Structure 1
Amino acid sequence: MDRVKQLWSKTNRWHRVIFILLIVELRLLPNHQLGFQCNDPALSHPFTGDTISWKWLLATVALLPLVILLIVERVYNKDDSERSKQQALCWYKEYMFGVLINLTLVQLIKVLVGAPRPHFFDTCNPQEAGSCTGSEYVSSYTCLKAHWLSQSDKSFPSGHTSLALHTGVFIAYYLHQRTKHLVRSKAVLSAQVLSILSAVYCALSRITDHRHHWWDVLAGAVIGVPILFYTLQTSQVTSQSDIWND
């Protein structure tokens, strides 16, 4: 055990989080499943897809902040392009580390909880639903649509909400930190408001798409924003310029 602790202490912080994420994604942890109540209206919505797909979300999460960082830092360090690039990468590194923690924690909770989605009956079509009556609780079930299983029992918490708010709040916070010594403009304020509203729109779309319950979305928000500020504060990115070299 001491040898394991020693090895863990020597690993890079990125490697630690990636290691945990791989354990989750490779399904090395037991996949828990919550049961359901027969004819539960909260689980009886049709599956209609996503207003904002995972591909669009991940592309936005990865690329949009980087573009904003490069532009703002170039304006902030007009006479030193190398420094502007370094500063942008400092911020981006800490932001993406928070995204990685965010994604890992959300996926871990999804596996450990195994909560049915609002379209559970449609995408899972549990065999037991045909024989249960009233409000009987079914603790164990078998999906007849096995290929939809991953879409059926990973409702809690909302990963879309967690990542969207993480990104939206980061952009607003970053613009505040890097422009507070400059002349404030309506463009900056508009960008901050737009980033927050876009994240909120993404979160609300998960409810209107019947992909998550409202409490899943709330939990995603509670996870996403604190992780952002935790990673930024522990890295002291707002006052250091050599974070990229750690």
Structure 2
Amino acid sequence: MQALRNPTTRLYASYAFDWIFCVIILILFFLLDRAEPFHRQFSVENTAIMFPMKAKDTIPVWALVLIAVVFPVLMIAVVAVGVRRSIYDFHNGILGLLLSILLTTIFTQVMKVTVGKDRPDFLDRCQPMQNGAPILHDVPLQLWSVDVCSQTNKAILKDGMRSFPSGHASTAFAGLFFLSLWMGGKMHVFDRRGYSLKSVILIVPILAALLVAISRIEDYRHSAIDVTWGSIIGIFFAIFAYLQYYPSLFSKASHIPHPPRDFSYLTRNSDGRSNEPGCLENATGIRPNHEFVDETRPYLHDQAQEQPLQQ
């Protein structure tokens, strides 16, 4: 118990909990993936669900992982470790990225299971049959249940009832939009100096996420509304996760992460001074309190040198 009163120990334990929390979310995702989605009744004359089922996705899951997870991790590693030489920045960048992706995927998975919307290729997956003959027309005022499906591959049928929202779209935007925010902070995209190259660099990950979302419509896996809401969900959690670990892009210190959590109160004397001065700063190289000026000084100094235009 005495060890937990050490601010540095509490700091590491606090971040360790964040990583454990990410692992828990990942486990919950795989558990939900095995859950049976809500079974909607359907019409065999519904033109929205009678598209052909493609044998292969344009962007399979393994490719999505490379695009939305591995690529952002590599970019963050190159900039944070190779350029800025900051392990703390790398840690926060990766943790924020994982939080964005995992919150997005668990939220998307819950909606997929509870909504149970049929994919555009659902009828081709289902192959509805009655009395040994295909059902081609609806009886007036009657809807069919999945009990009439002759599909023997239960995984294909179950996946056909998980159209809303698009998991590819939400995951792509969760990873790549977070990367755009992270890069934008490093480049001070809103410093009012107007470099067009910054916009070009930031739009590349967003465009890649958009192409992933469009591919799901082209494959008849999702409708436009599915990928639209999936994209919105991914963008929302990317912004949420980014602001947990980094300041706003409008901040003059947008290139550095938030300072470490301050547990120095555990060792403060009655006069408010810590018995272990600098312990958190030594652990991470960054001050954990309001005096955190660190790398912002050169930037603020440059800004102060700028004189307003003469009228």
TM band (smaller chain) = 0.7 to 0.9
Q: Out of 63, 70, 82, which is 1:56 matched to?
A: 63
For residue 108 of structure 2, the aligned residue among 103, 106, 109 is 106
Contact 1:37 1:136 in 2 (8 A): no
In the other structure, the counterpart of 1:144 is: 150
Distance (whole Å) between structure 2 residues aligned to residue 51 and residue 97 of structure 1: 27
User: Aligned residue for 2:49?
Assistant: 43
The farther-off stretch of 63-72 and 10-19 is: 10-19
* Structure 2 unmatched ranges of 5 or more: 1-16, 248-255, 262-282, 285-311
Aligned pair 1:166/2:174, yes or no?
yes
Contact kept, 8 Å, 1:36 with 1:137, in 2: the verdict is no
The one-letter amino acid of 1:62's match is: V
Measured in 2, the distance between the counterparts of 1:117 and 1:71 equals 39
Structure 1 residues 15 and 63: CA distance shift in structure 2, 3 A: closer
Match of 1:118 in 2: 120
- What per-residue deviation string (whole Å, max 9, x for no partner) do you get for residues 102-149 of structure 1? 111111111111111000111121336617526755252223113121
CA distance in structure 1 between the aligned counterparts of 2:200 and 2:167, rounded to whole angstroms = 26
Distance 2:83 2:199 in 1: 17
What is the CA deviation profile of residues 179-201 of structure 1, one whole-angstrom value per residue up to 9, with x for unaligned ones? 21899866543331111111111
Counterparts of 1:102 and 1:161 in 2: how far apart (Å)?
A: 10
Unaligned runs of 5+ in 1: 1-9
Task: Give the residue type in structure 2 aligned to 1:240.
Answer: H
Q: Match for residue 157 of structure 1?
A: 165
The 1:136/1:116 distance shift into structure 2, 3 A limit, reads farther
Question: Partners in 2 of 1:242 and 1:159 — Cα distance?
Answer: 33
The one-letter code sitting in structure 2 at the alignment partner of 1:37 is S
Deviation for aligned residue 1:44: 0.8
Q: CA separation in 1, counterparts of 2:194 and 2:215? A: 32
Q: Which amino acid aligns with 2:237?
A: I
1:5 corresponds to which residue? none
1:144 and 1:47, CA in 2 relative to 1: closer, same or farther beyond 3 A? same
CA RMSD, aligned part only? 2.9
Change in Cα spacing, 1:219 to 1:137, as seen in structure 2 (3 Å) is farther
Matched, 1:197 2:203: no
Q: Which has the higher helix share?
A: 1
Q: Residues 133 and 25 from structure 1, CA distance in 2 versus in 1: closer, same or farther, beyond 3 angstroms?
A: closer
Aligned residue for 1:4?
A: none
Q: Distance in 2 between matches of 1:103 and 1:39?
A: 32
Shift of 1:15: 5.2
- Aligned equivalents of 2:175, 2:140: Cα separation in 1: 40
1:229-240 maps to which residues of 2 (within 5 A)?
A: 229-236=239-246, 239-240=257-258
- Which AA in structure 2 matches 1:141? V
CA contact (8 A) 1:24 1:107 kept: yes
Alignment TM-score, normalising by the size of structure 2: 0.65
Distance (whole Å) between structure 2 residues aligned to residue 135 and residue 165 of structure 1: 43
Amino acid at match of 1:53: P
TM-score, normalised on structure 1? 0.80
